[in-house]
Structure formats: structure tokens, C-alpha cells
Amino acid sequence: MPPACFILVNAASYRWNLIRSVEGEARNIGTILYPMSVALALGLSFGTRYEGVGAASILVLAWGDAAASLVGRRHGRRFYRVLGHSRSFEGSSAMFVASAAAVVAAFAILGAPSGLSLWPAFLLAALASTAVEAVCPWGLDNLLVPAACAAALLALAGGGGL
């Protein structure tokens, strides 16, 4: 329920610029999509054998995307452009490492779906999440990064869905 409430709060802030520190410099819908992703991941995975997948997708967004932004802005020296948006190799590397750690942490706490090997899981999920983050404009990464992580993990687990 709390993430769903934040969808409304953040949408109102986006629409009327109520919380300037949340909206940041460049206006994008990422502040709305973030709690939406959390709500979707929780809603689709809670109480299923894929709770670890839902938690991993949330942690990849929280840890990986944040690490990419922080490291890229502070230590980014080598840049590349994708679809007109600039990214740094340092930020993308931080995204990959933090995403891999997020999957390991989620599975260590909640467990991995049966039959899922940890090494391919965290490597593929981190790779998919990092690739999606690199190409997403306008805050869409807040929706598509967790989706890419979950899709990669579900594909490895042999489950077509939750």
C-alpha cells in the first residue's frame, strides 16, 4: 500500500511541482515510475515462489540505478552516448556491480526459485539491468530496469511468469 500512495504523491508533485527537491533539474516521470515499479514487484511476487525475484528487481533499482547515478556523476570520465543520452562507463560499471550484489542479497535473504543457479542469475540479471539502464531516457529506467531484472531471472528459472 505505501508504494501505491507514493505514486499519487509523486504524480501530484510532478504535475504541480510541489516538491522541487524530488523533481530535480530535468523533469521526467521517473519519480512516478519508481514507486509504481516497487508496487508491481511486490504485488506480483508476494506470496509466490518468486518473492526473491521481486525483491531482487526492487533492490536492483534501488542499489544499481542509484550507484550508476552517483558514481557516474562524481567519477565519470569516459562517456558514451545511447539514443542521445550520455552515460559513463564508470556509472555503468557501478550499476553492474551493485545490481549483481542486489540479486545475491535478495536471494540470500528470501531464497532463489528452485533450480536457479546463483552465478548465471546474478550475472544475467546485472547485465540485463545495466543494458536497459544505459538506453532508457526520461526516467523510464525506473520501470524497465526492474522489469529487465525480473524477466532475466524468470527466464533462467524456467518460469514464464509469476
Looking at the domain assignment, is residue 18 inside a domain? no
Beta strands in 32-92 (DSSP E): 79-82, 85-88
Question: Taking the C-alpha atoms of 104, 105, 110 and 115 in order, what is their torsion angle to the nearest 10 degrees?
Answer: 0
Looking at the domain assignment, is residue 137 inside a domain? yes
| Total number of domains constituting the chain | 1
Domain carrying residue 77: 33-157
Maximal CA-CA distance, the chain: 48
Range name among 25-29, 50-54, 75-79, 154-158 with the lowest pLDDT average = 25-29
Cα within 13 Å of Cα(52), Cβ side:
21
Specify the pLDDT at position 162.
52
Looking at the domain assignment, is residue 97 inside a domain? yes
Distance (Å, rounded) from C-alpha 18 to C-alpha 27? 13
Looking at the domain assignment, is residue 57 inside a domain? yes
Given pLDDT bands bounded at 50, 70 and 90, which one contains residue 72?
very high
Looking at the domain assignment, is residue 40 inside a domain? yes
* 3-state secondary structure (DSSP) of residue 41: helix
Specify the pLDDT at position 137.
81
Distance (Å, rounded) from C-alpha 4 to C-alpha 127? 28
pLDDT in tens, 13-42: 777 877 766 556 566 788 889 999 999 999
Given pLDDT bands bounded at 50, 70 and 90, which one contains residue 45?
very high
